[in-house]
A and B are shown apart, each in its own frame.
Chain A
């Protein structure tokens, strides 16, 4: 399968701080990169995606940055809240209907 990995398995941040979750990917042919959030005992939930021809995309309190030169993707969460505590996955789709997920980063938000 494709290789989509994460640099840090666990990230702890203080409530109110900004969080940055990183991801490395291997397939330059991927057309989209996607971030998902998974809370304990639940299925993943879509956060945001970015097309390969973009460098940055912003959503509500989240920003995704794509660096194709080094095949790196990051998710920035502004003013992190306790409800942001979850596991975050990046995914890519080197083929239109196939999505490959990374192993995930656990985000712990300390009150």
Chain B
């Protein structure tokens, strides 16, 4: 199993540009989530999904959209990037039937200039 994969690893955007961060998992997990991690800080939940067609907001959802059309994929869209969205983004998945262990991807480092 590849686990949780994320693309791209690095991305530089100009203010106002849009892009999609990709996340995929091959563990057949229903639960998937997106976090951002700013320097010296913990992770903050952006959006999460408990299954295909079901998404909900986390702590910091503004400026981000998500959709979940398949169990495997959970893309995160930035419609109009802002410098405040410069961060490292992590995707995670979890088997809801097996406690709280979330499996994290390697992250995408995004810089908005």
Q: Which residues of A contact B (CB under 8 A)?
A: 1, 4, 9, 32, 34, 41-46, 49, 89, 91, 93, 97-104
Contacts and interface: CB of A to CB of B under 8 A. Distances in A.
A97 B50 CA distance: 8
B48 A42 contact: no
Nearest to A42: B106
B97 interface: no
B43 interface: yes
A101 B43 contact: yes
24 contacts: A32-B99, A32-B100, A41-B106, A43-B4, A43-B104, A43-B105, A43-B106, A43-B107, A44-B102, A44-B104, A46-B100, A46-B101, A46-B102, A46-B103, A49-B99, A49-B100, A49-B101, A91-B43, A97-B56, A98-B59, A99-B45, A100-B59, A103-B42, A104-B42
Given A93-B100, A97-B50, A98-B58, A1 B42 contact: no
User: By CB atoms of chain A within 10 A, which of B31, B99, B102, B103 has the most?
Assistant: B102
A98 B42 contact: no
B12 to A, nearest CB: 18
Interface in B43-76: 43-45, 48, 50, 56, 58-60
A56 to B, nearest CB: 17
Contact of B102 (A4, A99, A102, A104): A99
- The majority secondary structure among interface residues of chain B is strand
Interface residues of B, number: 27
Closest 3 CB pairs of A and B: A43-B104, A101-B42, A1-B59
User: By CB atoms of chain B within 10 A, which of A4, A89, A91, A101 has the most?
Assistant: A101
Contact of B48 (A44, A45, A98, A102): A98
Contacts of B101: 46, 49
B100 A34 contact: yes
User: By CB atoms of chain B within 10 A, which of A9, A32, A44, A100 has the most?
Assistant: A44
Contacts of A46: 100-103
